[in-house]
């Protein structure tokens, strides 16, 4: 159960999840925007850099977050959104300086 699982506990777990091709965490990149904990349920708002992101990449990012949070024995719901222009520029700058390749 989520007893004892605070938003901070969840944030610490999510903060360690790295992007598969960029040597940064999903939190650093702005992909994980918001985490809300209500009882035994966690809502994660994730922002994709652009609408046409390949399904395989989108699914990988979402699943990497969901799997880590589910290990804490809570229900997880993900809401997807698209980055605004400012968030996208920050993402692209980090992508350029930290690109390591991969999928």
Q: Given this model, what pLDDT does residue 103 score?
A: 44
In tens, the pLDDT along 34-52 reads 999 998 999 999 999 999 9
Question: Is residue 23 over pLDDT 80?
Answer: yes
Q: How confident is the model at residue 60 (pLDDT cuts 50, 70, 90)?
A: very high
Helix, strand, or coil (residue 27): coil
Q: What pLDDT does residue 1 have? A: 39
Q: For each of the domains in the chain, give its residue range(s) and CATH number, in order of start.
A: 7-92 (3.30.300.130)
> Helix (H, G, I), strand (E, B), or coil: what is residue 34?
strand
What would the 3-class secondary structure string for 19-64 be?
Answer: CCCECCECCCCCCEEEEEEECCEEEEEEEECCCCCCHHHHHHHHHH
């Amino acid at each position: 159960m989520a007893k004892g699982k605070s938003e901070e506990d969840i944030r610490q777990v999510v903060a360690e999840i790295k992007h598969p091709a960029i040597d940064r965490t999903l939190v650093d990149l702005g992909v994980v925007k918001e985490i809300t904990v209500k009882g035994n349920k966690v809502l994660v708002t994730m922002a994709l850099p652009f609408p046409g992101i390949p399904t395989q990449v989108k699914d990988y990012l979402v699943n990497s977050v969901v799997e880590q949070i589910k290990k804490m024995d809570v229900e997880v719901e993900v809401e997807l959104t698209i980055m605004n222009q400012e968030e996208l520029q920050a993402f692209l700058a980090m992508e350029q300086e930290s690109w390591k390749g991969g999928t």
